[in-house]
């Protein structure tokens, strides 16, 4: 179980209470640790950091019956010289049944070595940011957007979070362009620091994010899509060096679409399940 309760996470720091120990002092230390996040904590990356991202797409009918599934996976390296990031070994695998294992997957050669500067993250939303990517393939672009989203939620609002207090990132719905393929409207994104946990042998702040009742529209070729999205997840941020140690993403999507020659619209559901796992340093 990835999510650990606060008490278990804190045991390696202070140790279990033994006969004769000052329980009051232990409680004070615990309360102090949970009183606020360290305001002076800086992200420290002395060498490149590598992550393995796996995102499963489960395609469902209106009765939640699985029609097929896909797995998009890849390796992401950040903190490269010049503040750049790079993608390698991206693949897409397909399977039919819910319990069917995924095959090895087809390599997405156009994404091998895809590199960009993290300082230019706003360019991710522009049409020219993904040279060589197939126009109709959104899932590999989602890898890039999802990874940046998790990084943003982990770091950009860290000093604004208070324990169990919801922090809203925006005052009203915001439209986000999808690199020329449409728009995604975040209705209300919320972050909550929910406690202290442990991951990769590091004490971490556990940050929950959620955004419900979002809208989107896209167009690929002669097909137009529109729908709604709910997404949420958890992020583990190290209290030692502020590095991203782990993250999850769940997204429930309902899509309405129709081919140009069809009179009737079709509706499908998509459940996305993603993990962002930090890999050992070389």
Could you count the other beta carbons within 10 Å of the beta carbon of residue 193?
Answer: 23
**Residue 59 forms part of a structural domain:** yes
Count how many domains the chain has.
Answer: 1
Q: Which distant-in-sequence residues (6+ apart) come within 8 Å of 171 by Cβ?
A: none
- Pick from 177, 146, 154: which is nearest to 72 by CA? 146
Query: Whole-number mean pLDDT of the chain?
Result: 89
For range 76-89, the mean pLDDT: 96
Residue-wise pLDDT tens digits, 236-278: 999 999 999 999 999 999 999 877 666 688 899 999 999 999 9
| Residue 26 within a domain | no
CB atoms within 10 A of CB 113: 9
81 within domain boundaries: yes
pLDDT level of residue 15 (50, 70, 90 thresholds): very low
pLDDT tens string 139-170: 999 999 999 999 999 999 999 999 999 999 99
Query: b/e per residue, 250-268, with b = 16+ CB within 10 A?
Result: ebebebebbeeeeeeeeeb
Within a domain: 24: no
CA 150-37-174 angle, to 5 degrees, is 40
In a domain, residue 47? The reply is: yes
* Residue 29 falls inside a structural domain: no
Domain that holds residue 47: 6-15+37-278
Above pLDDT 70, what percent of the chain? Answer: 87
The answer to whether residue 94 sits within a structural domain is yes
**Which SS3 state, helix, strand or coil, does residue 60 take?**
strand
The pLDDT assigned to 263 comes to 67
Is 31 part of a structural domain of the chain? no
């Amino acid at each position: 179980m990835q999510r650990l309760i606060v008490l278990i996470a804190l045991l390696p720091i202070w140790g279990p209470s033994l006969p004769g120990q000052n329980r009051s002092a232990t409680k004070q230390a615990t309360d102090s640790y949970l009183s606020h996040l360290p305001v002076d904590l800086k992200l420290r990356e002395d060498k490149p950091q590598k992550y393995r991202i796996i995102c499963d797409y489960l395609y469902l009918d209106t009765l939640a019956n699985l029609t097929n599934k896909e797995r998009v996976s890849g390796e992401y390296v950040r903190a490269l010289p010049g503040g750049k990031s790079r993608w390698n070994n991206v693949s897409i695998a397909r399977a039919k049944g819910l319990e069917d294992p995924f095959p090895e997957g087809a390599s997405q050669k156009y994404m091998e070595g895809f590199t960009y500067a993290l300082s230019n993250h706003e360019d991710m939303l522009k049409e020219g940011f993904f040279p060589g990517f197939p126009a109709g393939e959104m899932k590999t672009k989602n890898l890039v957007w999802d990874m940046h989203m998790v990084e943003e939620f982990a770091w950009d609002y860290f000093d604004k979070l208070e324990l169990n207090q919801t922090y809203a990132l925006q005052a009203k719905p915001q439209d986000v362009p999808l690199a020329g393929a449409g728009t995604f409207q975040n209705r209300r994104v919320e972050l909550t620091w929910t406690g202290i946990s442990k991951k990769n042998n590091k004490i971490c702040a556990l940050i929950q994010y959620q955004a419900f009742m979002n809208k989107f529209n896209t167009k690929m070729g002669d097909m137009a899509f529109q729908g709604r999205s709910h997404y949420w997840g958890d992020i583990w941020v190290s209290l030692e060096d502020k590095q991203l140690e782990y993250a999850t993403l769940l997204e429930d999507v309902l899509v309405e679409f129709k081919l140009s020659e069809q009179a009737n619209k079709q509706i499908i559901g998509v459940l996305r399940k993603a993990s962002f796992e930090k890999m050992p340093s070389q």
